[in-house]
């Protein structure tokens, strides 16, 4: 006798799934609670926009338009222009032309991203100082005697140069991805119409890459607004240095929060401008698929010119400053590397590892709430958690300090804590700030994994009667393990490099590799700071290799 499996009507299946995807459950509650926590700094700052200024506002306020805003905008415009120029031109060359060394240069051009801007600044000052290699060569080999600096970088143009040569890989990565994935059909059509490669670039490839370029420039601009080490070392007056000055020098937290609130408004305005100018601009292939364009093989002299251009960018952006740091590290390692330095390395890596696990766990909670909730637009609600990456670290720090200290004072009044601050005296505020600042890094990586995994297997698991926890543990997490690993690595590297946020919120006498390098450099121990700087940079090279592998797979 033949036994047939019972058949479920489609309406029954839909009803079962509908019951399992309700608009409110424990996951959604956890996601909403987490969003409120992550948005706390922004709420704090926006409320201070209309509050009364601090006691030293008469010293801080007049500098907003005359100094802070002017220098900040000049830096932003200058860096936007030069990162666009360097990133777009190099991306077009390695994506569209064949020339000697192209395969190596395409990933070497990403390496400056591993360099924090302030460490790049220290390296270049060492290269150009009187006892540096340039002066020594001119003096000893050519007999030139130059008393002052050959090139003075300790000014606003110097800051633009340092930021541009460090941050252009953001534009390079976005532009290269766009050029590699752009359709061969469109560019072949332009060639059939008689367009030269130059005209094809300006009339076809560049407009198609506009959304990607805007995204890369926006990320570079956010890094400029977040920086403190470079602008402090060069003596530039930006909003970040103003926040540090109001808080740490004048001791006026209210004025620091006021400045941070104004800077937050500027950041949100920049984000809106980027979104508005991009609008609904998109391109698509009629066939639904894209084929990367053929690389052009120019004449041999032109090929070597292209090699020289890309190699010069690599030399300026990585090899020269990195070589200077290696020289300093070899020269000073015996004075710097000891047990205390080893403890700084252990603390830095432990803090970064703990922060990575926390952030990735929270990102999984947010995104799994999207999968198990039937709430319309839940994905857009959870996306709010990624806004912290666009807010400078100093701004997040002051936005966290005020509510946490207020909560600690309330605890002192209601609980017998013997005058001890429970939350603001340890690493809690630092971990909280890292969660807000780098949630976007973990969120985007995990989101990519969930989207590739799809929901069919997830739905099948719950149709078999398994709850959400069992489905997450047995089905979803194994499917996205590569995305989890990428998220952990990316967050780890970002935490290792973070400076302004760590400087403000670290406990007393607590050092990371970034703060140790900064403190030694500001105390005129630039050569000694190279040991900590090298560890940070070598750690940052790991995701660079991964990024290049991902882009090459799209060829």
Q: Please name the residues in contact with 154: beta carbons below 8 A apart, sequence gap of 6 or more.
A: 125, 234, 235
Please write the tens of the pLDDT for every residue from 470-517: 777 777 788 888 888 888 888 898 899 888 889 888 888 889 999 999
- In angstroms, what CA-CA distances link 515 with 51, 484, 522, 540? 32, 28, 10, 16
Dihedral sign, Cα of residue 108, residue 112, residue 113, residue 116? positive
Give the whole-angstrom CA distance, residue 169 versus residue 176: 10
Please state, in angstroms and rounded to a whole number, the distance separating the CA atoms of residues 395 and 70: 19
Find the Cα–Cα–Cα–Cα dihedral 329, 335, 339, 340, rounded to 10°: -90
Distance CA 71, CA 193 (A): 46
- Mean pLDDT, consecutive 10-residue segments, the chain of 555 residues? 48 49 67 82 72 64 72 91 94 89 89 90 86 74 70 88 93 83 62 68 73 82 87 87 77 74 75 64 50 74 93 94 92 90 93 92 85 69 75 82 81 70 77 89 81 68 68 78 84 89 86 91 88 90 72 57
pLDDT for residue 389? 78
Q: What's residue 343's pLDDT?
A: 93
Tokens, residue 269:
């305005």
18 near 11, Cβ under 8 Å? no
Calculate the alpha carbon distances from 381 to 218, 298, 301, 401, 439 in Å.
22, 50, 54, 25, 14
Task: Tell me the CA end-to-end span of the chain in Å, nearest whole number.
Answer: 56
Euclidean distance between CA atoms 72 and 221, whole angstroms: 10
Q: Which sign does the torsion angle of CA 384, 388, 390, 396 carry?
A: positive
Rounded distance, CA 540 to CA 115, Å? 7
- 8-state DSSP, 67: I
Which of helix, strand or coil describes residue 376? coil
Q: Would you state the pLDDT for residue 551?
A: 59
Nearest residue to 387 via CA among 444, 430, 433, 439? 439
Residues across the chain: 555
Q: For 374, how many CA atoms within 13 A lie in the half-sphere containing its CB? A: 12
Tell me the domains of the chain and their CATH numbers.
Answer: 11-47+337-507 (1.10.3720.10)
Tokens standing for residue 63: 């500098």
| pLDDT at residue 28 in the model | 78
Would you state the pLDDT for residue 375? Answer: 64
pTM of the predicted model as reported, rounded to 2 decimal places = 0.81
CA angle at residue 39 from 354 to 116, to 5 degrees?
50
What distance in Å separates the CA atoms of residue 17 and residue 35, rounded to the nearest whole number? 27
Query: What is the number of alpha carbons within 13 Å of residue 392 lying toward its C-beta?
Result: 35
Beta pairing partners, 296: 97
For 358, what's the count of Cα atoms within 13 Å in the CB-facing half-sphere?
Answer: 19
Structure tokens at 143: 């007999």
Neighbouring-strand partners of residue 97: 296
CA distance linking residue 511 with residue 502, whole number of Å: 9
Answer whether 438's CB lies under 8 Å from 497's CB: no
Residues 6+ apart with CB under 8 A from 553: none
């Amino acid at each position: 006798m033949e036994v047939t499996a019972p058949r479920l009507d489609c309406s029954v299946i839909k009803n079962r799934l509908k019951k399992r995807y309700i608009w409110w459950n424990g996951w959604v509650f956890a996601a909403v609670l987490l969003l409120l926590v992550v948005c706390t700094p922004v709420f704090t700052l926006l409320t201070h926009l209309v509050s009364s200024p601090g006691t030293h506002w008469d010293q801080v306020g007049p500098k907003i338009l005359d100094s802070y805003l002017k220098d900040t905008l000049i830096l932003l415009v200058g860096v936007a222009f030069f990162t666009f120029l360097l990133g777009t031109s190099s991306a077009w060359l390695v994506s569209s032309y064949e020339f000697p060394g192209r395969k190596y240069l395409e990933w070497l051009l990403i390496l400056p991203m591993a360099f924090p801007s302030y460490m790049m600044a220290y390296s270049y000052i060492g290269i150009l100082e009187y006892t540096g290699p340039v002066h020594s060569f001119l003096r000893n080999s050519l007999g030139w005697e130059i008393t002052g600096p050959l090139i003075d970088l300790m000014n606003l143009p110097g800051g633009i140069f340092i930021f541009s040569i460090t941050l252009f890989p953001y534009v390079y990565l976005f532009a290269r991805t766009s050029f590699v994935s752009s359709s061969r059909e469109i560019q072949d059509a332009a060639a059939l119409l008689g367009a030269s490669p130059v005209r094809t670039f300006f009339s076809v490839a560049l407009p198609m890459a506009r959304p990607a370029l805007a995204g890369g420039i926006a990320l570079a601009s956010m890094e400029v607004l977040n920086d403190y080490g470079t602008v402090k070392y060069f003596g530039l007056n930006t909003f970040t240095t103003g926040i540090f000055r109001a808080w740490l020098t004048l001791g006026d937290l209210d004025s620091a929060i006021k400045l941070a609130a104004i800077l937050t408004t500027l950041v949100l305005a920049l984000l809106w401008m980027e979104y508005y100018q991009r609008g609904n601009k998109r391109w698509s292939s009629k066939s639904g698929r894209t084929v990367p364009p053929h690389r052009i093989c120019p004449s041999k002299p032109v090929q070597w010119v292209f090699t020289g251009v890309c190699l010069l960018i690599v030399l300026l952006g990585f090899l020269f400053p990195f070589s200077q740091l290696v020289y300093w590290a070899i020269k000073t390692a015996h004075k710097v590397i000891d047990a205390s330095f080893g403890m700084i390395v252990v603390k830095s890596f432990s803090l970064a590892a703990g922060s990575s696990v926390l952030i990735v766990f929270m990102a999984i909670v947010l995104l799994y709430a999207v999968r198990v909730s039937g709430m319309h637009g839940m994905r857009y609600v959870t996306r709010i958690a990624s806004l912290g990456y666009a807010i400078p670290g100093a701004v997040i720090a002051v936005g966290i300090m005020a509510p946490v200290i207020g909560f600690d004072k309330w605890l002192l009044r209601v609980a017998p804590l013997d005058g001890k601050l429970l939350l603001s005296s340890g690493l809690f505020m630092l971990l909280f700030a890292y969660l807000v600042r780098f949630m976007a890094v973990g969120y985007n990586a995990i989101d990519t994994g969930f989207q590739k995994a799809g929901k069919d297997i997830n739905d099948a698991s719950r149709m078999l009667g398994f709850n959400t926890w069992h489905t997450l543990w047995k089905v979803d997490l194994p499917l996205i393990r590569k995305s989890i690993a990428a998220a952990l690595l990316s967050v780890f590297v970002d935490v290792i490099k973070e400076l302004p946020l760590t400087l403000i919120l670290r406990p007393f006498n607590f050092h990371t590799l970034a703060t140790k390098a900064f403190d030694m450099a500001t105390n005129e121990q630039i050569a000694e700071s190279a040991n900590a700087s090298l560890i940070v940079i070598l750690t940052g090279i790991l995701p660079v290799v991964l990024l290049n592998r991902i882009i090459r797979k799209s060829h």
